[in-house]
Each structure stands twice: as structure tokens, then as C-alpha cells.
Structure 1
Amino acid sequence: MADAARARRVADRIHETVARLLQGRIKDPRLGFVTVTDVRVTGDLQQATVFYTVYGSDEDRRDSAAALRSATGLIRSEVGKALGIRLTPSLTFQLDALPTQARTFEDALAQARAKDEEIARSSAGATYAGEADPYKHEDRDEERADTDEDRGDRREGAEDTGQDRDAR
């Protein structure tokens, strides 16, 4: 097993080599506007997955995938020459789903923003159902304590009156 740093260097070299080949050497008319986004190499450096995106329609994506499959042998041999390691990794091309996921997230965020704006518009002239401030405050607690003490004085006075009756 190679260490993670070596695997990353090999992945970077594969990324550069594949991008250079797609830019200049591969002349397949089916190949659209392809961008290599990432390369991941297994720990034993035996397999590499090349992630790519294609600008265009679904048909352009299918055509580009077919062109990459047909050019895999040429690309692998060039990668082997560029790497200079004993075993050249086998290459797998995978359409990168990240742009599609990002678009989905952006659409969801736009819907949330629209919903928030709708709620803000509907609550613009609204008033509270109860008090404007439903929370307890210290000044109110002090007033309540004062009235509780007054009630306590009244109770003590009632008890005294009751004691006086018992003495009679």
C-alpha cells in the first residue's frame, strides 16, 4: 500500500495528464466540452477513477462518455508514461454528480427564500394574539412580591383574631 501523500501525487499527475490529452491529443468528434474535476486513486495505486463534467445536453454527456470509453486505452498508456511507476492504474471515467447536486441545492435554497419572503409579506401588518411581550420581567416580579407580602400581613392579622377568640 502506498501512503496517502503518494496516492495524492499520483492522482494529481493523472489529472494533469488526462486533462492535457483531452485538450489536444484526442480528436474524437463525439467528445464535447469535457472538464476533469477530480481523480481518486485506490491505496494500492491499481485503480483510478477520473471524475469529469460535460457542458451541454444529456446527449452530449452520452457521446462524451462513449468517446472516453473508446479512448481509455490510449489515455492509460499515456498516463503510464507520465507516471513512470511499475504498474499503471486502470482508469474508470465517472460523470461527476457534483454540479447536478449543487444545482439541486441552489433550487431548494431559492424556494426557501421565496417562501420566507411570502411569510414576511403576510406577517407585515400582523399583531400579537396576546401580550406584545409574554416573558416575565424583574420589575413585575417585585410588584408581585409586594402584593404577596400584603396578603401575608392580612393572614397574620386573621390568625391573631382567631387566637384572641380562643382566649375568650
Structure 2
Amino acid sequence: MAGFERRARVADRIRVILSERLQKGLRDPRLGFVTITDVRVTGDLQNASVFYTVYGTDEEREGTAAALKAATGLLRSEVGRGLNTRLTPTLEFFADALPEEASHLTELLRKAHEQDEQVHGLAANATYAGDADPYRHDDEDDRDA
């Protein structure tokens, strides 16, 4: 098994090779504006999971997924030429859900901020239900005795 440092170097090199190749373009009109976000390589350097994002609509995302699946052999050949390893890892492409999750978290934070503002507005005019300080203090115990 390859060490963590070697796996990280191989994964980074695969990401660079694929990014450069996709920047040049493929002859597939379905391919949209793709960004390779991450590559993870197994410990034996046999398989690589490639995570990508696509800027565009759902149809463009689906078209890009189909184009990447169709071009997997070509892209694997490019990776094989660019790596100095005995074996070329198989490539598997996954759409990265990070942008959708980030926008969802941003929306949740916005809602939480609005609710905090509402609570702050209610607390500004609020009064205590009982005494201002409902706790007993030591100096009061001395006066009561």
C-alpha cells in the first residue's frame, strides 16, 4: 500500500492532468463548464474517485455526467501518460454536492439570523415576570434572622 503522502501526490497530479485536459476541451457538446474539486485515490493506487462541479442547469449537469462517463477511457489514457506509476488507476466521476450544501447552509444561517433579530426585538421591550433578581443573597439571610 502506498503511504498517505504518495497517495496525496498522485491524487493531486491526477486532478491537475484532468483539469488541464478538460480545459482544452473534449469533442462532446454535452460537456459543460466543469471544475474538478477533489480526487481521492485508494491505498493501492488502483482506483481514483474524481469529484467535479458543473456550472449550469440540471440538464447541463446531466449532460456533463454523460460526457464524462463516455470520455472516461480517453481521460484515463491522459492520466496514464502523465503519471509515473506502474499501473494507471481507473477513474470514477462523482458530482460534488458541495455547492448545493453550501447554499443550503447559507440559507439556514440567514433564517437563523432573522429569527435572532426577532427574538432581540421581543427582548428589548420585555420585563421580568417576578422580581428583577429572584435569587436569594447571603446578606438577606443575615437580615431575616
Identify the TM-score tier after normalising by the shorter chain.
Answer: over 0.9
Looking at structure 1, the residues matched to 143 and 129 of structure 2 have their Cα atoms a distance apart, in angstroms, of 29
Partner AA of 1:135 in structure 2: Y
Aligned-partner Cα distance in 1 for 2:48–2:67: 18
Query: Quick one: which amino acid aligns to residue 90 of structure 2?
Result: S
Partner of 1:75: 75
Deviation at 1:146, TM superposition (A): 4.2
Query: What secondary structure, in the 3-state scheme, does the structure 2 residue paired with 1:123 have?
Result: helix
Distance 1:70 1:5 in 2: 31
Amino acid at match of 1:125: N
Residue aligned with 1:110, SS = helix
Aligned residues: 145
Aligned to 1:52: 52
Greater RCO (CA < 8 Å, at least 6 residues apart): 2
Shift of 1:135: 3.2
- Partner residue of 1:21? 21
Unaligned runs of 5+ in 1: 149-168
Cα distance in 1 for residues equivalent to 2:31 and 2:140: 81
Alpha-carbon distance between aligned partners in 2 of 1:136 and 1:147, rounded to the nearest angstrom: 11
Letter in 2 for 1:80: G
Secondary structure at 2:124 match in 1: coil
CA distance in 1, matches of 2:6, 2:64: 30
Q: Which amino acid aligns with 1:96?
A: D
Which 10-residue stretch deviates more, 128-137 or 37-46?
A: 128-137
| Identical counterparts, % of pairs | 57
Find the structure with the greater CA-based Rg.
1
Partner of 2:51, secondary structure, is strand
Runs of 4+ in structure 1 deviating by more than 4 angstroms, as ranges, are: none
Residue 61 of structure 1 corresponds to 61
Q: TM-score under structure 1 normalisation?
A: 0.82
Partner of 1:87: 87
Aligned with 2:141 (options 129, 139, 144): 144
TM-score normalised per structure 2: 0.94
Q: Distance in 1 between matches of 2:89 and 2:135?
A: 67
